[in-house]
């Protein structure tokens, strides 16, 4: 089950830098990120609720004599990491994987155009158990198609018990990298559970 759909947004102007090529241990807890990815902060990171969102990025203006834009074709990238300085005064908008940066420019910092786009993801949404006890369950969720990210509020993920009770999940604000489901002892006692996902355009899918 997944959430594939088309999406049209407007291009915005910003800046980007680059930070390396290792996706392991990323702040979103994404175990299967896309090949091209980035980090961001502020309103786009949104305490980790922005995780999984996809963007089209294209080089607009190198701004230096010793670097240049290779072309105007956009690259589709996925948000998997947090950049503390991004989306803050004086900072860039995005921090690109270095190999992704190399596809559009050779500049360390470059003016870009960007927009949200549909994530080119196939297969099912992936849900991985983080841990829990009789009072909480932690889940890693990734490989979300369509919008790529879930709604930025509580209950973007809902666990539905065998008897029809549901328990909402929210982003764990301490780590910002997993979903915290707090439903009391019934979380352990009344299974198997179905799971509902709601993306940031309120499209719903349920996994049984």
pLDDT at 8 over 70: no
pLDDT value for 186: 67
Model confidence band, residue 189 (pLDDT cutoffs 50, 70, 90)? confident
Three-state DSSP state, 171: strand
Which residue shows structure tokens 């390396």? 20
Give tens-digit pLDDT for 97-153: 999 999 999 999 999 999 999 999 988 999 999 988 878 889 999 999 888 999 877
pLDDT value for 80: 97
pLDDT value for 167: 86
pLDDT value for 5: 56
pLDDT at 2 over 80: no
Is 89 exposed, middle or buried, given 0-12, 13-18 or 19+ CB atoms closer than 10 A?
A: exposed
pLDDT value for 38: 97
Where helices occur in the chain by DSSP H, the ranges are 42-45, 98-104, 186-189
Give tens-digit pLDDT for 13-41: 999 999 989 999 999 999 999 999 999 99
The larger pLDDT score, comparing residue 55 to residue 3, is at 55
pLDDT value for 185: 67
Whether 37 and 23 have beta carbons less than 8 Å apart is answered as yes
Give tens-digit pLDDT for 163-188: 888 888 999 989 999 999 886 666 76
pLDDT value for 28: 95
């Amino acid at each position: 089950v997944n959430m594939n759909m088309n999406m049209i947004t407007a291009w915005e102007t910003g800046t980007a830098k680059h930070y390396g090529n290792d996706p392991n241990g990323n702040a979103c807890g994404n175990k299967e990120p896309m090949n091209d990815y980035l980090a961001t902060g502020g309103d786009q990171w949104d305490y980790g609720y922005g995780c999984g969102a996809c963007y089209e990025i294209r080089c607009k203006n190198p701004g230096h004599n010793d670097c240049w834009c290779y072309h105007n074709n956009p690259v589709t990238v996925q948000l998997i990491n947090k950049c503390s300085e991004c989306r803050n005064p004086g900072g860039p908008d995005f921090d690109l994987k270095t190999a992704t940066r190399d596809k559009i420019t050779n500049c360390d910092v470059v003016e870009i155009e960007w927009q949200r786009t549909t994530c080119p993801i196939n297969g099912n949404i992936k849900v991985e158990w983080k841990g829990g006890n009789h009072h909480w369950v932690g889940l890693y969720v990734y490989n979300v198609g369509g919008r790529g990210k879930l709604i930025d509020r509580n209950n973007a993920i809902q666990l539905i018990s065998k008897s029809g009770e549901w328990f909402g999940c929210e982003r764990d604000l301490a780590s910002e990298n997993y979903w915290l489901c707090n439903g009391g002892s019934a979380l352990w006692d009344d299974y198997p559970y179905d799971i509902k996902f709601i993306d940031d355009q309120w499209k719903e899918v349920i996994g049984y």
